[in-house]
Amino acid sequence: MLKHLATLLLLFTLGTSPLQAAEPDTATPSVTPAAQAAPPVLDPKVATQAFMDRLQGEARAKSDSYAEGGYWLLLWNLLYGLLVAWLLLSRQISAHIRDFAERRSQGKHRQVLIYALIYTPLTTLLMLPLSLYEGYFREHQYGLSNLSLAGWLGEFGIALLVNTLLMSVALLGLYALLRRQPRSWWAWGGVGGAGLIALLIMIAPVFISPLFNTYKPLPQGQIRDEILSMARANGIPVDNVYYFDASKQTKRVSANVSGLFGTTRIALNDNLLQRTSLPEIRAVMAHEMGHYVLNHSFKLALYMSLLLMGGLLFIKLSWDWAAERFANRHGVRGISDPAGLPLLVALLSVYLFMATPVFSTIIRSAETEADLFGLNASREPDGFAEAIFKLAEYRKLQPGPVEEFIFFDHPSGYQRIYAAMRWKAEQRATAPAATPSQP
Ligand SMILES: [Zn+2]
């Protein structure tokens, strides 16, 4: 449940993992039929189908089952989170934490802070079994993780510290609003949430990402030159490219253009450098630049703040009903009492669960825009299609339309490769790599 809140906030480093991929091709590592043949008239459907045909049988089933397991995990996370909330309320653990905070301090702010400093680690630890399955065992089962258990737990600990800090700030603000603006707290809460999200986007590349990975300047060479050239052509204010050691955690390829103002940074991970060709790197980086140029961070912060506002309104409207059943008789004095936080978080997680299609669609729309921007900026339809194909080990290639609408925060592999092949057919892209974005 806490995870939902954290996800909501942390997703807005959207830049941070938009394009991730898996292992090198388990199918054929050679050139695609489409790229090789270059027929006079390219049929995008046929070319896309050729990609689909490259992932068949067991590999395809594994990719589908990883994705489908992820859908179920949304439900398990909700149910497990509700169970934890029920436990904290019905055993009066939450009320005891509040009483402890009140004995320690007279000030309302300090009481909330003390409550938050106990609540966040406690719920994180109670959720640990599910987190361990989702983040460690499942990833290893599908061959996507490179982390040892000790390494995973170490990162879990760092994330816990960061989350505790962020939750404390968020809760101090939220309870101050609940006490002072009993009628309009939900609206101000949405505005405050947007502020926190924007702050996170700004500080994440500088203060949070380096807690998990080492960032180094990419050495001089063709890759760096081409990335910087594309950055200049698209008005991105950077003069350096970084790479980071993601291979210690995962086999996925990823890259990002993140930050705001002075913290803007282009970074790609070592998997991308090692597992893909220059046209693929150019295509992926151009997609990431699209997020930056199209101001997706700002737009998503705005949309998410509206979504959060809706969630806070949902809490306000359903509080009396829910508190009567689950909180009042367990020592919770009202909505502005921190002891009611488990109920508040439970209501928010129910709302976010129901809002999954909205959430997916908001992000998927931005990803579609970045894909098209990337094709135009890199002029690498084959490189893009190849990179997308590499994502297929953990992203279902061809979901049904309803499935894609509800669960996909990126367009499906089929849609993305089709967009690249259509671009190639219609824009008559010339040879990749040799001709960077010239008209
Ligand atoms: Zn993206």
pLDDT tens readout for residues 23-57: 333 334 444 454 555 556 789 999 999 999 999 88
Q: Which pLDDT does position 364 carry in this prediction?
A: 96
CB 391 within 8 A of CB 413: yes
Q: Which pLDDT does position 40 carry in this prediction?
A: 61
C-alpha of residue 284 to centroid of ligand 1, in Å:
9
C-alpha of residue 118 to centroid of ligand 1, in Å:
36
Q: What is the pLDDT of residues 108-122, one digit of tens each?
A: 999 999 999 999 999
From CA 402, how far away is CA 332, in angstroms rounded?
41
For the chain, what percentages of helix, strand and coil (3-state, to nearest 5) are there?
75, 5, 25
Q: Please tell me the total number of residues recorded for the chain in this structure.
A: 439
Question: What residues are paired with 16 via a beta bridge?
Answer: none
Which of these ranges, 267-281, 401-415, 425-439, has the smallest mean pLDDT?
Answer: 425-439
Which of these ranges, 21-25, 336-340, 373-377, 414-418, has the smallest mean pLDDT?
Answer: 21-25
From CA 123, how far away is CA 55, in angstroms rounded?
40
Q: Which pLDDT does position 78 carry in this prediction?
A: 97
C-alpha of residue 255 to centroid of ligand 1, in Å:
9
Tokens of 152: 């995973």
Tally of CA atoms within 13 A in the half-sphere of 169 that contains its CB: 14
C-alpha of residue 281 to centroid of ligand 1, in Å:
14
C-alpha of residue 411 to centroid of ligand 1, in Å:
10
What is the percent of the chain where pLDDT is above 70? 87
The whole-number average pLDDT for the span 209-225 is: 93
Q: Which pLDDT does position 430 carry in this prediction?
A: 53
Q: In which band, very low, low, confident or very high, does the pLDDT at 173 lie, cut at 50, 70 and 90?
A: very high
C-alpha of residue 322 to centroid of ligand 1, in Å:
38
C-alpha of residue 395 to centroid of ligand 1, in Å:
14
Q: What is the pLDDT of residues 126-137, one digit of tens each?
A: 999 999 999 999
Residue 434 has pLDDT above 50, yes or no: no
C-alpha of residue 436 to centroid of ligand 1, in Å:
21
Q: Which pLDDT does position 105 carry in this prediction?
A: 93
C-alpha of residue 258 to centroid of ligand 1, in Å:
11
In three-state secondary structure terms, 114 is helix
Residue 20 has pLDDT above 50, yes or no: no
The CA–CA distances, whole Å, from 271 to 36, 57, 181, 206 equal 25, 26, 49, 21
Q: Which pLDDT does position 392 carry in this prediction?
A: 86
Q: Which pLDDT does position 11 carry in this prediction?
A: 38
C-alpha of residue 288 to centroid of ligand 1, in Å:
6
C-alpha of residue 2 to centroid of ligand 1, in Å:
25
Q: Which pLDDT does position 329 carry in this prediction?
A: 95
Q: Which pLDDT does position 4 carry in this prediction?
A: 43
C-alpha of residue 71 to centroid of ligand 1, in Å:
20
In three-state secondary structure terms, 145 is strand
C-alpha of residue 18 to centroid of ligand 1, in Å:
4
239 exposure class (CB count in 10 Å sphere: 0-12, 13-18, 19+)? exposed
C-alpha of residue 439 to centroid of ligand 1, in Å:
25
From CA 348, how far away is CA 350, in angstroms rounded?
5
C-alpha of residue 50 to centroid of ligand 1, in Å:
24
Q: What is the pLDDT of residues 297-355, one digit of tens each?
A: 889 989 999 999 999 999 999 999 999 999 999 999 999 999 999 999 999 999 999 99
CB 21 within 8 A of CB 66: no
Q: Which pLDDT does position 207 carry in this prediction?
A: 85
Which of these ranges, 138-142, 258-262, 275-279, has the smallest mean pLDDT?
Answer: 258-262
C-alpha of residue 287 to centroid of ligand 1, in Å:
6
Q: Which pLDDT does position 259 carry in this prediction?
A: 74
Mean predicted lDDT score pLDDT of the chain: 87
